[in-house]
C-alpha cells in the first residue's frame, strides 16, 4: 500500500511536529486518524518526509558523503551498503541490484531478504 496515510495527516504532522514529541504525534495518529501504527513506523514515515519533531535525535541523521559521483558506494556504520543513484539520492545496494535485475520498482513496503545474512554478498541468487 503506497499511500497508506492521507495528505491531511501528512500536513498535520508537518504543522504539529516542531512543538510535539514523537509520542504526542503517535497519539494523534492513533486517536484522530485511527491509524494502526507504532512508534518506529511513525518515526520512519516522518524521517522519509523530512519532518523533524520536537524530540528528534539529530545525532541519528544519516551523514552520507556529498559531492560524490553517481554510482559511488558508501558503507554505513551498520555495514549496509548504499549506492548513489542520482544527485541527492542514495539507495541500498541490494534493492538497487534487485530492481535492475528484475526491472521492477520496489515500494517502501518491500523488503529484500538476504539468504546467507551476509550484507556484502550481492549475488542475485542470494
* Per-residue pLDDT tens digits for 11-53: 999 999 999 999 999 999 999 999 999 998 898 888 888 888 8
Q: Is 50 left (phi over 0), alpha (psi -120 to 50) or beta?
A: left
Phi, psi dihedrals of residue 91, rounded to the nearest 5°? -140, 145
Residue 53: alpha-carbon gap to chain centroid:
16
Instruction: Please list the residues that pair with 82 across neighbouring strands.
Output: 74, 92
Residue 26: alpha-carbon gap to chain centroid:
18
* C-alpha cell belonging to residue 122: 550481492
82-97 pLDDT tens trace? 999 887 788 999 999 9
Segment 63-80 shows an average pLDDT of 77
Amino acid at each position: 500500500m503506497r499511500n497508506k496515510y492521507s495528505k491531511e495527516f501528512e500536513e498535520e504532522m508537518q504543522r504539529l511536529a516542531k512543538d510535539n514529541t514523537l509520542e504526542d504525534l503517535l497519539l494523534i495518529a492513533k486517536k484522530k486518524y485511527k491509524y494502526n501504527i507504532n512508534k518506529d513506523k511513525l518515526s520512519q514515515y516522518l524521517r522519509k518526509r523530512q519532518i523533524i519533531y520536537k524530540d528528534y535525535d539529530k545525532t541519528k541523521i544519516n551523514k552520507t558523503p556529498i559531492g560524490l559521483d553517481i554510482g559511488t558506494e558508501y558503507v554505513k556504520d551498520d555495514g549496509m551498503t548504499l549506492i548513489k543513484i542520482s544527485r541527492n539520492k542514495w539507495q541500498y545496494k541490494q534493492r538497487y541490484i534487485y530492481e535492475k535485475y528484475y526491472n521492477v520498482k520496489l515500494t517502501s513496503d518491500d523488503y529484500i531478504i538476504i539468504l546467507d545474512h551476509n550484507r556484502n554478498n550481492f549475488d542475485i541468487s542470494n
